[in-house]
Structure 1
Amino acid sequence: MTASSAGSRAPRSLAGDLPGWASGLVTGAIAAAVSLLVVVAPTLAALATAPADGTDTDWGAGILAAMRIWLLGLGVPAATSLGTYSLVPLGLTLLILGILVATAQRFLLRSWDAVGLAIVAFTTLAGFVASFAWRDADDPSALIVRAVLGALLVSAPGIFAGRVRAYGLTIDAIDLVPPSVRTGVRSALSGLALVVVLAAGAGAVGAIRGAATMAETVTALDAGAVGSTVLAIAQLAYVPTLVIWMMAWVSGVGFGVGDGSVYAPAAIETGALPEVPLLAALPQSSGGLLVWTPVVLVAMGAAVRIVMRRRIRTWREDLVALGASAVVTLLVAAGTMRLAAGAVGSGRLAEVGPPVWAAAGAISGLLLAGHVLVGGVAAGLAGWRHRGDAPSEPVDLPQPAVGSSTP
């Protein structure tokens, strides 16, 4: 074994020297500490470079604010004097999830006990951080429960995925699921993936068009080099949230950023917005050809149905696959939309984001319409090709005469 390969195996060897239960506790603790440090470091950097006002820097307040931001990434709302902030920075959530996957892949042993203890360690530390960060809140117990539940929902798939990446996994129970149901689930996830790509593209177009406004906003804030960097990192945390908003936009339902505001392909009604550069990427145009944007989702559903056609053999399997696809799409889209809805203060910004069930229903219905369209056309073509296929009448051939040699 070479020195480089030995060095790359060192963390795994370190975990191998621990018993299974200890590797689980270490994995959960490292994931929590690293993900929290990722938030604490830029927060303290911004605090250190803030203009001095003659008073001592309150480092404790900076660490407390970083803890609350980290908990917001786990779905714990932050109540401040300016209002309640419950809009989850999904970029931070995905970062925590990635740290969990990488840590579990590197340090966790094969034992399933270690997996469970890693989840317990992470959720316990999240609850401890919440009890410290929100010890002065009106109802700290509710926030602690939210922190534990959010940490459980994030750590369970992250640590499980890390364990699978390290050791692989074979689940025989999947074979018990009917093939048509599995086809429907694949269709649903494929369609949603295409919708995410379309939404990200639409958001990128909005960001390019609003680049000048973003630059002007950053200049007006005059946050300095470090402050601007921290501001950019904070905005990146909300880029996935903006992509989900654009998913609601391409479905035709749209979303709102404050009471009375609507961002949809058919109409735009805006109001006063906070000085946040990322908001310059919101759609600025409506009407015209944009009203046909939801038709693209129908085309995506049709494309997925064409790709999946070889997995469907009978019309009964087709109905089961359609039903499974519609249900999975609706539930996953609704859960995604719920993550992108919340509050960013008080007043008219007490509720921002898409209408959850309306947007999810539109996405599911449009994709399902594409499936049905292709299935109906295929059934019509099959019937047209076989419309002349009728059993032929037997033909009476003349019988040869007796004694004739003609066959």
Structure 2
Amino acid sequence: MPPSTGPVPVTGRVRRVLQDDARPSFFTSAIDGAPRWAVGALAALQGAALSLLVLAVPAVAVFVTTSADPSNVDVAWTRAVVVAANLWLLAHGVPVSAGGAAVSLLPLGLTLLAGFTCYASARRSGVATRSGALASVATYAALTVLVALVCGVGAGGVVRALLGGVVVGGLGLGAGLLRRPEAPSWPVLVAPLADRLPGPVVVGLRAGTLAAAALVAVAAVVTAVWALAGRATVADVVRMLELDAVGGVVLALAQLAYAPNLVVWALAWVAGPGFAVGAGTRFAPAEVVDGPLPALPLLGALPAPDLAGGALLAAPALLVAVGLLTGLAVHRRLVPTRGRDVLVAVGTAAATAGLLVAALQLAAAGAAGPGRMTQVGAAAWLVGLAVAGGVALGALLVAVPSDAAVRASLRARREAR
């Protein structure tokens, strides 16, 4: 009987082999033997191609359906692909020309679509390493620049395509890579930065992000209420347009592309400053000043002039309500060592929520056409300040009275007197 040799040491290479064997087959791709940067580049190419195809296929289908129209005899099918490519670029922040007017209003629905295809591609085929991640984002940004050059945009448009590709690709691909089985968890990934920041700041950043997400959810509910209240107007616009089946599908897709914009505008309405859909208009809890609008059913959901004033003036109180939840999150997560720690955490949370909401307002604003329609959206800085103020007020009402360190500091000051 051979002598026992003891346990076999598990080297790093053996451990990786065992991990690969235990990995579900869903995560195994045909390019697992390729260099990590090549795998990352192919994942980005796949994500970009998917979102482009989602736009190009319906565009070509519409062309084929309407090709029998005599007015379309001289229009090549490639024109439909160019239109789809321009819409894809618009989703990445590159303005397009429509009827001689520049359109810079991002269809946030298409932006979310591009981010999702990047996420799905990286989740399925990416590799969660530094070289793989950098190659993925760089390739996606290069592809947006390439599409911009093919579509003949100017130098400014190329720069916007580069920045948009980095932002959309970075967020989508990064989120997908973090879902890979070999990827580190989010706390481990941000630990080097979190360890260098004071504890109250870290708690404030998390609470502020939670507050911004809660405000988006509130705005989505408000948008649903608007849609129910304005369903008669929406139906009237649809009947007035007298669309056929193809036109109805195209209009529905266009409205889905801009539906997230309406949610962001509703957030500006909740904050108080409101938003505009055309120069000289204002939609806010205090007043509604409307004007001639494009014949889009989606715009029929905007608040009517009689939906202003009265009890609606209390709409910004929703900011304070979200601030109360933010203060509760600060109280539960913060371990203060000084009385001012809670103030630092609350201030950081309010600033984070305000900045995130302001960024959303910037993304949802722009020009939607010539003349009056060059002004669409909200004043981002004003909405951000309102959100920061409301969240700070609500958070202070909860976090300060319930914090033991603050109470101890106040007692010490009273005794010192």
8 A Cα contact 2:350 2:387, kept in partner: no
Structure 1 residues 10 and 332: alpha-carbon distance in aligned structure 2, compared to 1, 3 A threshold: closer
- CA shift digits 1:71-109 (9 cap, x unpaired): 000000012334111000111111111111110111112
CA distance in 2, matches of 1:21, 1:311: 39
CA distance in 2, matches of 1:130, 1:260: 34
Whether 2:387 is the aligned partner of 1:363: answer yes
Counterpart of 2:245?
225
Whether 2:314 is the aligned partner of 1:300: answer no
Residue 110 of structure 1 and its aligned partner are, at CA, apart by 3.6
- CA shift digits 1:12-57 (9 cap, x unpaired): 2313132222212211111111110111111122222236125424
Of 326, 340, 344, the residue aligned with 2:368 is 344
Counterpart of 2:65?
49
Counterpart of 2:127?
109
Structure 1 residues 230 and 317: alpha-carbon distance in aligned structure 2, compared to 1, 3 A threshold: same
Residue 119 of structure 1 and its aligned partner are, at CA, apart by 1.5
Q: SS state of the match for residue 84, structure 1?
A: strand
CA distance in 1, matches of 2:228, 2:40: 45
- Which residue identity lines up with residue 378 of structure 2 in the other structure? P
Residue 264 of structure 1 and its aligned partner are, at CA, apart by 0.3
CA distance in 2, matches of 1:116, 1:308: 34
* Aligned Cα root-mean-square deviation (Å): 2.5
Residue 177 of structure 1 and its aligned partner are, at CA, apart by 2.4
8 A Cα contact 1:45 1:226, kept in partner: no
Whether 2:170 is the aligned partner of 1:156: answer yes
Counterpart of 2:36?
20
Whether 2:331 is the aligned partner of 1:331: answer no
8 A Cα contact 2:26 2:124, kept in partner: no
Relative to the length of structure 2, the TM-score reads 0.85
8 A Cα contact 2:137 2:170, kept in partner: yes
CA distance in 2, matches of 1:158, 1:315: 40
Gaps of 5+ in 2: 1-20
8 A Cα contact 1:15 1:109, kept in partner: no
Counterpart of 2:294?
274
Q: SS state of the match for residue 367, structure 2?
A: coil
8 A Cα contact 2:207 2:329, kept in partner: no
Q: SS state of the match for residue 316, structure 2?
A: helix
Gaps of 5+ in 1: 391-407
Residue 376 of structure 1 and its aligned partner are, at CA, apart by 5.1
Q: How does 1:4-403 map to 2 (within 5 A)?
A: 9=25, 12-50=28-66, 52-53=69-70, 55-56=72-73, 57-133=75-151, 135=152, 140-166=154-180, 167-169=182-184, 170-171=188-189, 172-173=191-192, 174-284=194-304, 285-312=307-334, 313=336, 314-375=338-399, 377-378=401-402
Identity of aligned residues (%): 36
CA distance in 2, matches of 1:33, 1:41: 12
- Which residue identity lines up with residue 9 of structure 1 in the other structure? S
State which structure, 1 or 2, has the greater radius of gyration over its C-alpha atoms: 1
